[in-house]
């Protein structure tokens, strides 16, 4: 009567194959999560910049802060920075150019927005430069 079961060699081959697959898939998973966070950051920056531009064209002045965009219903809420895991952003305020008339009441406000993250993106650029 023959015994049924797996030999030690068969078990070792299967365990080795599973180990190789795990070693390949774990880094891929890590990078796919980071790529997803970068995509969300790009989309959030695009949406906020679009809201700032619409606010400016409608009201002929820049918003004093991000809360103004929410209050005026250009945004439902201040978007989340997935890299910093917060709703805080670096505000770039409007400033006059050389030899340009500058009306502080109309032109002062949030011109652009950037991430506060000091880390580098997968493409080698800082998130703060996006």
> pLDDT tens-digit profile of 31-71?
999 999 999 999 999 999 999 999 999 998 899 999 999 99
Burial of 84 (0-12, 13-18, 19+ CB in 10 A): middle
Q: How confident is the model at residue 127 (pLDDT cuts 50, 70, 90)?
A: very high
**What is the mean pLDDT of the segment spanning 2-27?**
90
Task: Say yes or no to pLDDT of 5 above 90.
Answer: no
CB-based burial of residue 49 (10 Å sphere; 0-12 exposed, 13-18 middle, 19+ buried)? middle
For residue 4, is pLDDT > 70?
Answer: yes
How many other C-beta atoms are found inside a 10 Å radius of the C-beta of residue 83?
20
pLDDT, residue 9, reads: 93
pLDDT band at 100 (very low <50, low <70, confident <90, very high): low
Q: Cα 64 from chain centroid?
A: 23
């Amino acid at each position: 009567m023959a015994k049924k079961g797996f030999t030690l060699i068969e078990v070792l081959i299967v365990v080795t194959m599973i180990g190789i697959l795990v070693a390949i898939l774990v880094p891929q998973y890590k990078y796919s999560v980071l790529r997803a966070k970068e995509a969300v950051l790009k989309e959030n920056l695009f949406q906020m910049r679009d809201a700032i531009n619409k606010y400016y064209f409608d009201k002929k002045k820049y918003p004093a802060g991000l809360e103004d965009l929410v209050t005026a219903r250009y945004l439902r809420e201040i978007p989340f920075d997935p890299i910093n895991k917060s709703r805080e952003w670096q505000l770039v305020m409007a400033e006059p150019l050389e030899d340009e008339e500058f009306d502080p009441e109309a032109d002062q406000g949030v011109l652009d927005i950037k991430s506060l993250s000091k880390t580098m993106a997968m493409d080698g650029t800082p998130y703060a430069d996006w």
